[in-house]
Structure 1
Amino acid sequence: MNIAKLSVLRPVAMAMCIVLLIMLGTISLLNLPVDLFPELNYPVVAVTASYEGAGPEEVENLITRPIEELMSSVPNVESVSSTSRTGGSLILVSFDWGTDLDFATLTMRERIDQIRDSLPLGVTAPQVMRFDPSMLPIIQLAITEPNANIAEVKKLIENEIQPRLDSVEGVAAVQIEGGADQEILLEVDPDHLANFGLSLTDLQQLISSENLNIPGGQVTDANQSLPTRITGAFRSVFDLEILPIPTTEGVIPLGKLVTILETTAPVLQQSYLNGEPAVGISILKTSGTNTVAIARNVKNEIKQLKELLPPGIEIRSIFDQSRFIEQSIRAVGWNIIIGGLLAAFVLYLFLRNIRSTLIIGFSIPISIMTTFLFLYFYGETLNILTLGGLALGVGMMVDNAIVILENIYRKRQLGEGKKESAINGTNEIGGAIIASTLTTVVVFLPIVFVEGLAAQLFKPLAITVAFSLLASLITALIIVPLLSSTFMKINEDTSAFQRGFDRTKALYQRLLEWALAKPKTVIFSTLVILGSSLACIPFLGTEFLPAQDQSFISIDVRLPVGNNLQTTTELTEEIDQQLLSIPEIDLSYVTIGGTDNFTVGAGSQTNRASYTILLTDVTKRTRSDLVIAEEIRQLLAEIPNANIAVSASDTGFSENPISITVRGPDLQTLKRISDEMIHTISNVEGVREPSSNYTEGNPEVTVSINRSKAASYGIGSAQIASTIGNATKGLVATKLTRNGEELDVRLQVEDRYTASVDHLEQLLIDTPTGERIPLAAVATVERGQGPSSIRRADRLREITVRADILGRDLGSIVADIESALKEEVRPTLPSGYRITFGGQNEQMNDAFFKLSGAIALAIVLVYMVMAGRFESFFYPFIIMFSVPVTAIGVIFGLLLTNQPVGVGSLIGMLILTGIVVNNAIVLIDYINTLKKEGHNTYDAIVKAGPTRLRPILMTALTTILGLIPLTLGYGEGTEVQQPMAIVIVFGLAVSTFITLILIPVIYRITDNVRKKNKAAHLEV
């Protein structure tokens, strides 16, 4: 290797390059954006359209179907789903991963423009919106003040807190939820008002016309042109009370006509923190910015605000994404440090030379800094997957350096000088090192061609491992020879460990000689062990991604449709009492009322409540979030007349574990089938809280206008609707500006006029003749059931049943569900209806198929790299025998740790494919070197095996011990990397042992066969 020679002969120049590399790596690390996971560009685009007053079936036929047909013809569309409900439609278009969404949304808008004129009158122009993960909050706060009015707290937030947080760099928006707004209520008795010849609309127009500040032109005085301003705006409630109102009975003050109250506006949403009224704040970040840095700046701003706010105001964090990011990154960082120290311990144990250990140890931070430099220029973020890649690579980083250093050390022991041994030792083994590194790096190439969520998540990890290995190769070829030629000293090792290793080496040599003498026994034994391992595969479960304990539990509470806010609030008080018995709960935040995200025309949902429960730190509790969630589930199961769903360990980027969809033409038939499915899967072990997304229509009051009767009184439908709306919702007459804030002045009829359907029928309507008639005279008022929403996918109506799982792996539960549905539901399934599985099961199957293909392609690529290195197809064929035997260790490891096969396990197998051949490459490369020196095959094998035993054991042990912290799942956020580490540790451990015996046996057998074939060919 000329580069090694250059490094040894130009030490000062190389030292300056090393310092520069470390500086650039440090700068790159400080400038890398920090996030929890890689930023995922979900390939989903939404189309929304509103059609006021139209029912779900009208919306479906007139809006949803035409848009669906257009969207299905857009290139790269994977699926089209929709929801049609009263007043509007939402169509979700899912594209293939990797699609250019900017171009796709442009195409969608062009297609929609083609049918815009053919849509019914009254339909708003359809809007196309991309789903952006940055729309989700990074921090959610709850603010309480036990002794203050909640409206005052909200006002304080709007005036003092929100502007300060808005000004923090990187904050895109600050949203406020809950609380109440102050307003001036003018309570009206329509009968009393009629006595004075006034209606609600008349009063509203009179009040708004008096509350004005308007310019009055210019006036010239003393040669000056002065602007004129007429000031008539209300300054206080007293101004309203004395406002003169002209009536048929004369001019009367407003205070004599209405009851004036200073109160809070009606609320359809309330928030509570640990039972205390609270106002919530959600903070959204700018896309592509550093989550941790923004959160840190926000927290610093809050710390300064607390010193300025009135005493008693408490600001609590109910969700902080940066907290989990920092904990996860800290845990992975410690794993890297611990793994590195364990690797250094192995080095010292084998080398018994502190200088040699420091040479290898110094190569780790240099490789890491070089990796950070690569990541920065590649445009990656620092997240638990890229750091997980470093944690996976930290043990492998020293492999190349170990092999080169060991060879240099051996050359020194044979009497060569410092520089000669550094150059010759590197040159002798450099080709094998490059080949072994490329075999590990090349296994990640197939991931580039894999699509889907799994690939989006694990590409950064694969890239990081590849970068770390390339960095370690550069370090091994340049820095190790440089430091070895300068600092290495050899010493005679007479320690107990060395004596023990010498005995192990002699034992291995005897075992190798026995194996070469009994090749059939070795191969047969290996096949039996491999077959036994493969027979255990059915006992392994399957999953998509492992659950992550984020110290976070959510509860979704739903009462029967139509329940008001007060009823829902009373239920949450009962839930709060039950939650007091859970010692691990740090805080509980509940939002009552509100709307679903991404729904069109859904209106308020006062029958719903949503809990955010923050648990104490993982290190301070003995139970996982899943176990605590199950206890909460059991506690709340006895609450009647409520549908309560408890969930934990939400990764944030995967769907429900169980998702079963039934499709067909008739909605009621779909409802019946989905109910049967819920009943069936409820009996499957491990299934929790199955429910469907079918929603019953809301109870409603229907006012059917008799147009002929209304026309006989000279009134129309618009006037009747306006009168009812003013009575039920009130009418904002004007605004009162006081102390720098604006208060709504709302006119509203007394509650007794809208207290029931009977009272609503008696609501009086003004006619053009001055007569006032009850609503019952021109319309029929009755209670009814509103229409349900209609969901479609790929142009078929559908209902989806979803469920969580606990205590069992996803694959086993899905298999039991499929069996149960086959026996109980599918036999009675009507023609034209079909059941399909989606959710995590669909994602898992897709990922398994694609990653299995990636592993197969990786094996081919590894073989090609080795063929190029050895310039032969023969030796790579021998080396590839080390790949299938890794299944023994992988299956044993997964069974021992009770870990199901998932995406992480498959990624581990992919990485393992490139690692396990490294030892065989180093071994066979040296056997070939000895054969070129004149040794026969048997002698070359017997000499090469013990000679290469130390570097093989050192590289295997550094990789294995470097991954031990990840294997044990130490710290938060390591759940994703743990299956990979388990697969690599157990697979490499077993493969190393078998490789040391099996590969020499295979080498000798194939070499003898080749010699016989060659001799037979010569005879011919």
Structure 2
Amino acid sequence: MSRTEGKFAVGIGVMKQPGTNAVEVGNEVKKRVKEIQATLPEGVKIGVRFDLTTFISESIKELYFTLILAALLTSLVCWLFLGSWTATLNIIMAIPTSIIGTFMALYAFGYTLNTFTLLGLSLAIGIVVDDAIMVLENIVRYREKGQARIPAALNGSKEITFAAMAATAAIIAIFLPVAFMEGTIGRYFLQFGVTLSVAVLFSLLEALTLTPMRCSRFLTVEERSTWLGRGVDNTFKKGAELYKKMIPGTLNHPYLTITAATIFFGITLFFGYSLYQTMEMIPSQDQSRLSVNLRAPVGSSLSLMDEKTKIVEKYLNGKSEVESIFTSVGGGSSVNTASIFVNMKPKSKRKLSAQKFMDVIRKETKKIKELKGVMVTIQDPSLSLSGGRGAGKPVEFSIRGPEWDKLVECSTNIMEEMKKTKKMVDIDTNYRSGMPELEIIPDRVKARDRGVDVSEISDTVNIMMAGAAVGKYSDAGRRYDIRVGLPASERSSAESIRSLLIRNNRGELIPLSDVVKINQKKSLQSISREDRQRAISVNANIAPGSSQKEAITEMEKIAKNILPEGYRAVQSGSTKTFAESIKGLVFAMILGIIVAYMVLASQFNSFSQPFTILVALPFSISGAFIGLYLFGQTLNIFSMIGLILLMGIVKKNSILLVEFTNQMRSKGLPVREALTEACPIRLRPILMTSLATIAAAIPAALAFGPGAETRIPMAIAVIFGVLVSTVLTLFIVPSFYMILERWFPSEIRKLKVDTKAAVKQ
């Protein structure tokens, strides 16, 4: 039976077909509901009581806002550095070109605008302007030297073309391994990677074609007249002068610089270890909804379950955080279960978050005396992305072994130990002890002595307890069975069966208790198997203050201590997906570095210089670890997306330094003088591209709307990773370049000759 607002109801669940858009399906259902309401008789209402698409729509709208704000902040960064509205407009134009082109590609691939594609677009805002910034800044530098628009556009774009192509190829290379990830997470990562890769490809095309064309037509470079403009210029000039003074000292002691950076990286690994201990699949989100599940002891009647459910309904309706509830009692053969779907008020109209409210429900329902013996568990719908089977909880294990009774004993002991850790709540299992049953065993010797046939025993018990059809009667054109049997009050206990009388072959009535033995025991409802082994599933939610990684680790320790030889605990559902995702991400990161090295080696025609470019990667990870730790975030699939993205974008700074140093050396400058000359010149585009990326990620990091819990860790990882790697890259890359020159002088000289030959051609 179902109820809503205290009235009986019929629940209808609507699921979308594979490949269809959930929001479109939800909107169409709501439209049809309104049409159906007009045809229903008076007093009958139809309405939506539990809608998961509402949160999706709200989070998508929030991402649109984040997208626009990211574009505005990126434009502001460009204006602050260049001080020219025409230059700023040139860079801003790269955003719609790349985004519209990406929309076309997403449509061609059959992707939808979902959380991952929109996250990719919002972060792409700060990346797609990088190529335009590099090209335009170089053109502006030539204009500041006094060249006219067209020569400056030609010379500036030609000089930076190789660096822009290398940077774009490096970003795409890091996402290639993502295509090999499997499972649910692999599909989402693929969409994210495709979105970013297509966006940067369009941005490169725009930067090498349209940006020089626009610069040749309406780029103006003039002295700043406002106090803000002069302040920014003076600050940058002082910073550039300071950097120019610091570079020689760094080049004088390259090994000391690298050693200090290595020590810094080692220190940040402590932050990484702390984050590793608190890893989780996906951060819990406040979706303003939850479900409360109840289970009474096996054998409880539907009416008893309904009474218990009404107690919880009354409790929930008395809470100010609850907006509406929909209740379903029983279902199939499980009359001892019930589910209550709770819609909470919007976040702005309540004090408690959904997660804190869940904890309140757990604690307070335990204190209700009438619910003694009823198990109350709560499910967070925001964790459904895990793709787990069964209960869909963050912790799921399958206990397997040969003997069923031993499995029951072990699983029970494991659950008791799980409760003691206080790292898990809502601990449950798929094992259900069966209905109490009476086993009637005929005593054939006593039955023979008393002249009782065994079949007579079976027939008597069957007729008296289950009833027998002895005739039919008609009523209103229908025929009904006439069944004869004991009334319910006389067949509710073992004594009722013992008092039955059986007629023997001499016509005498013999008490049933004289010829049978009656045993009372619990039966098995079902026996489950996995991989051809008997198995019992144990699942749990994460306790407040704990993490999925901690809970899984505790569970594995408990299983190892309790399970005897021949029995084992196997990860399943969400836990298995979590483990596979982490392995897949580590594989993608390692393979991404290898692919990036191969791409850079082919572009720079060198085996050693890609190491100089890739040396910035560890420090981007350090920055991400520091940011996540300081802001209380966790390592999850979204922060890991940020780490993979970092590995693509932080290489741009190294590429700018290495490529321009090679150009200086191709003109005949020694290594030290080439670095001293090239690094300060490339300081402005490095700072501009880095700050543009950071500015684009700030709206996501400050998000407060629906779905903010998933955007914040990724944005924080990007912001701190770019910030730390940018500062350290300016000193580490020149030092590493110097060291490689000492180690591989022949290869560097060969590069110089090749570069000269290329210039002559």
CA distance in 2, matches of 1:975, 1:733: 66
- Aligned counterpart in structure 2 of residue 644 of structure 1, from 370, 376, 394: 376
CA distance in 2, matches of 1:473, 1:676: 61
Match of 2:4 in 1: 273
1:558 and 1:609 in contact (8 A); partners too: yes
> Cα–Cα, structure 1 residues 832 and 308, in superposed 2: closer, same or farther, change >3 Å?
closer
1:894 and 1:982 in contact (8 A); partners too: yes
Residue 581 of structure 1: how far off its partner (Å)? 3.8
Match of 1:458 in 2: 189
Which deviates more, 847-856 or 836-845? 836-845
CA distance in 1, matches of 2:382, 2:593: 34
Match of 1:901 in 2: 635
Total equivalences in the alignment: 722
1:761 and 1:774 in contact (8 A); partners too: no
Residue 513 of structure 1: how far off its partner (Å)? 2.7
1:560 matched to 2:560? The reply is no
Match of 1:352 in 2: 83
CA distance in 2, matches of 1:851, 1:694: 34
Larger Rg: 1
> Cα–Cα, structure 1 residues 747 and 341, in superposed 2: closer, same or farther, change >3 Å?
farther
SS in structure 1 of the partner of residue 393 of structure 2: coil
1:873 matched to 2:583? The reply is no
1:468 matched to 2:199? The reply is yes
Task: Kindly provide the CA deviation profile for residues 216-240 of structure 1, in whole angstroms up to 9, marking residues without a partner as x.
Answer: xxxxxxxxxxxxxxxxxxxxxxxxx
CA distance in 1, matches of 2:611, 2:473: 87
1:355 and 1:488 in contact (8 A); partners too: yes
> Cα–Cα, structure 1 residues 807 and 632, in superposed 2: closer, same or farther, change >3 Å?
same
1:705 and 1:717 in contact (8 A); partners too: no
Look up the equivalent residue of 2:341 and give its one-letter code: T
CA distance in 2, matches of 1:973, 1:735: 61
1:522 matched to 2:236? The reply is no
Residue 322 of structure 1: how far off its partner (Å)? 2.0
Residue 842 of structure 1: how far off its partner (Å)? 3.2
Match of 1:343 in 2: 74
Match of 2:759 in 1: none
1:811 and 1:841 in contact (8 A); partners too: no
Look up the equivalent residue of 2:316 and give its one-letter code: L
Match of 1:890 in 2: 624
Residue 517 of structure 1: how far off its partner (Å)? 3.0
> Cα–Cα, structure 1 residues 381 and 1001, in superposed 2: closer, same or farther, change >3 Å?
same
Look up the equivalent residue of 2:406 and give its one-letter code: T
Which deviates more, 512-521 or 689-698? 512-521
Q: Which has the higher strand share?
A: 1
Look up the equivalent residue of 2:715 and give its one-letter code: A
Residue 995 of structure 1: how far off its partner (Å)? 0.4
- Aligned counterpart in structure 2 of residue 369 of structure 1, from 100, 105, 110: 100
- Aligned counterpart in structure 2 of residue 673 of structure 1, from 389, 405, 410: 410
Task: Kindly provide the CA deviation profile for residues 335-358 of structure 1, in whole angstroms up to 9, marking residues without a partner as x.
Answer: 111111111111111111112212
CA distance in 2, matches of 1:698, 1:361: 70
> Cα–Cα, structure 1 residues 731 and 510, in superposed 2: closer, same or farther, change >3 Å?
farther
Gaps of 5+ in 2: 750-761
1:419 and 1:485 in contact (8 A); partners too: yes
1:680 and 1:821 in contact (8 A); partners too: no
> Cα–Cα, structure 1 residues 802 and 897, in superposed 2: closer, same or farther, change >3 Å?
same
Which deviates more, 504-513 or 1002-1011? 1002-1011
1:563 and 1:606 in contact (8 A); partners too: yes
SS in structure 2 of the partner of residue 858 of structure 1: helix
Match of 2:718 in 1: 984
Match of 2:737 in 1: 1003
2:302 and 2:335 in contact (8 A); partners too: yes
- Aligned counterpart in structure 2 of residue 802 of structure 1, from 536, 539, 546: 539
2:73 and 2:695 in contact (8 A); partners too: yes
Residue 526 of structure 1: how far off its partner (Å)? 0.9
CA distance in 2, matches of 1:449, 1:938: 43
SS in structure 2 of the partner of residue 493 of structure 1: coil
Q: Please, what TM-score do these two structures have when normalized by structure 1?
A: 0.65
Task: Kindly provide the CA deviation profile for residues 620-664 of structure 1, in whole angstroms up to 9, marking residues without a partner as x.
Answer: 334322111110011111330111111224432234222233322
CA distance in 1, matches of 2:743, 2:455: 108
Alignment of 1:823-972 (within 5 A): 825-826=561-562, 829-972=563-706
CA distance in 2, matches of 1:401, 1:1014: 30
> Cα–Cα, structure 1 residues 731 and 663, in superposed 2: closer, same or farther, change >3 Å?
farther
Match of 1:815 in 2: 553
1:726 and 1:748 in contact (8 A); partners too: no
> Cα–Cα, structure 1 residues 377 and 732, in superposed 2: closer, same or farther, change >3 Å?
farther
- Aligned counterpart in structure 2 of residue 383 of structure 1, from 85, 99, 114: 114
- Aligned counterpart in structure 2 of residue 627 of structure 1, from 332, 341, 356: 356
CA distance in 2, matches of 1:344, 1:722: 86
> Cα–Cα, structure 1 residues 859 and 552, in superposed 2: closer, same or farther, change >3 Å?
same
SS in structure 1 of the partner of residue 170 of structure 2: helix
Q: What's the Cα RMSD here? A: 3.5
Match of 2:757 in 1: none
CA distance in 1, matches of 2:607, 2:628: 33
Residue 758 of structure 1: how far off its partner (Å)? 6.7
Look up the equivalent residue of 2:580 and give its one-letter code: D
Match of 2:161 in 1: 430
SS in structure 1 of the partner of residue 634 of structure 2: coil
Residue 941 of structure 1: how far off its partner (Å)? 1.8
Identity of aligned residues (%): 31
Task: Kindly provide the CA deviation profile for residues 876-925 of structure 1, in whole angstroms up to 9, marking residues without a partner as x.
Answer: 12112111222320221121122222233333222211211111101211
Residue 762 of structure 1: how far off its partner (Å)? 13
SS in structure 1 of the partner of residue 147 of structure 2: coil
Match of 1:179 in 2: none
Match of 2:755 in 1: none
Look up the equivalent residue of 2:237 and give its one-letter code: D
SS in structure 2 of the partner of residue 555 of structure 1: strand
1:663 and 1:799 in contact (8 A); partners too: yes
- Aligned counterpart in structure 2 of residue 505 of structure 1, from 215, 237, 240: 240
1:757 and 1:781 in contact (8 A); partners too: no
2:30 and 2:48 in contact (8 A); partners too: no
Look up the equivalent residue of 2:377 and give its one-letter code: A
1:411 matched to 2:145? The reply is no
> Cα–Cα, structure 1 residues 622 and 420, in superposed 2: closer, same or farther, change >3 Å?
farther
2:463 and 2:484 in contact (8 A); partners too: no
Look up the equivalent residue of 1:651 and give its one-letter code: L
- Aligned counterpart in structure 2 of residue 282 of structure 1, from 4, 7, 13: 13
> Cα–Cα, structure 1 residues 703 and 279, in superposed 2: closer, same or farther, change >3 Å?
farther
2:466 and 2:485 in contact (8 A); partners too: no
2:394 and 2:540 in contact (8 A); partners too: yes
CA distance in 2, matches of 1:795, 1:713: 39
CA distance in 2, matches of 1:736, 1:536: 79
Residue 389 of structure 1: how far off its partner (Å)? 1.5
Match of 2:52 in 1: 321
Gaps of 5+ in 1: 1-269, 596-603, 738-743, 1016-1020
Match of 1:296 in 2: 27
Alignment of 1:359-758 (within 5 A): 359-494=90-225, 495-496=229-230, 497-540=232-275, 541-595=278-332, 604-638=333-367, 639-652=371-384, 653-654=387-388, 655-700=392-437, 753-757=487-491
2:559 and 2:569 in contact (8 A); partners too: no
SS in structure 1 of the partner of residue 710 of structure 2: coil
Look up the equivalent residue of 2:546 and give its one-letter code: R
Look up the equivalent residue of 1:394 and give its one-letter code: I
Task: Kindly provide the CA deviation profile for residues 737-796 of structure 1, in whole angstroms up to 9, marking residues without a partner as x.
Answer: 9xxxxxx8765759973444179979999x9xxx9x999899999976333311222222
2:289 and 2:344 in contact (8 A); partners too: yes
SS in structure 2 of the partner of residue 953 of structure 1: helix
CA distance in 2, matches of 1:734, 1:725: 23
CA distance in 2, matches of 1:862, 1:405: 26
Q: Please, what TM-score do these two structures have when normalized by structure 2?
A: 0.86
Look up the equivalent residue of 1:657 and give its one-letter code: P
> Cα–Cα, structure 1 residues 755 and 480, in superposed 2: closer, same or farther, change >3 Å?
farther
CA distance in 2, matches of 1:647, 1:968: 28
> Cα–Cα, structure 1 residues 756 and 947, in superposed 2: closer, same or farther, change >3 Å?
farther
